[in-house]
Amino acid sequence: MRKCHLTVESTHWVARRLPVPINCEFSFHPRDPYAVTLIFDAEGERPVRWVFARELLAEGLTATAGQGDVAVWPEHDPDGASTMWVEVGNALHKALFEIPGPPIAQWLASTYALVPRGQEMVGVDWEELTQLTE
């Protein structure tokens, strides 16, 4: 079963004037078709993993989406470049990341090529899932 991965450089905005470049990795597996995983500092000593809805990421390409632990929204500059902002964390501890939009959009399209929207439950092995809960 094929997976989709994307590694891209992002910017972690530690403070308003303190950008820190950091690699992040998006991954999608058809076994969990509703979710995407985003790992910040994937190659570092302390990677941080967030799992959230694939639909949230798709909505965040065009409008603000999400509430709670993950929020995403787009930004387009006058030159036509697009950025996706990702904010993760809780009320006390939040982290803000700026990620180039086009690679995310292309990667997300490849996830929908594997598992189209609305077809997420088609390939579910219900017998296997029910055995896990027994």
Predicted confidence at residue 123, as pLDDT, reads 66
Predicted confidence at residue 129, as pLDDT, reads 60
Predicted confidence at residue 64, as pLDDT, reads 94
**Residue 95 three-state SS:** strand
Q: Is 17 left (phi over 0), alpha (psi -120 to 50) or beta?
A: alpha
C-alpha R_g of the chain: 16
CATH 2.30.31.20 fits 4-133, yes or no: yes
Domain ranges across the chain: 4-133
CA 64 to chain CA centroid, Å, is: 14
Contact in structure between 108 and 123 (CB atoms under 8 Å):
no
Instruction: Please list, in sequence order, all residues whose beta carbon lies within 8 angstroms of the beta carbon of residue 99, skipping any fewer than 6 positions away.
Output: 8, 10, 11, 24, 83, 84, 85, 86
List the chain residues with pLDDT less than 70.
1, 123-126, 129, 132-134
Predicted confidence at residue 124, as pLDDT, reads 65
- Residue 2 has what DSSP assignment? -
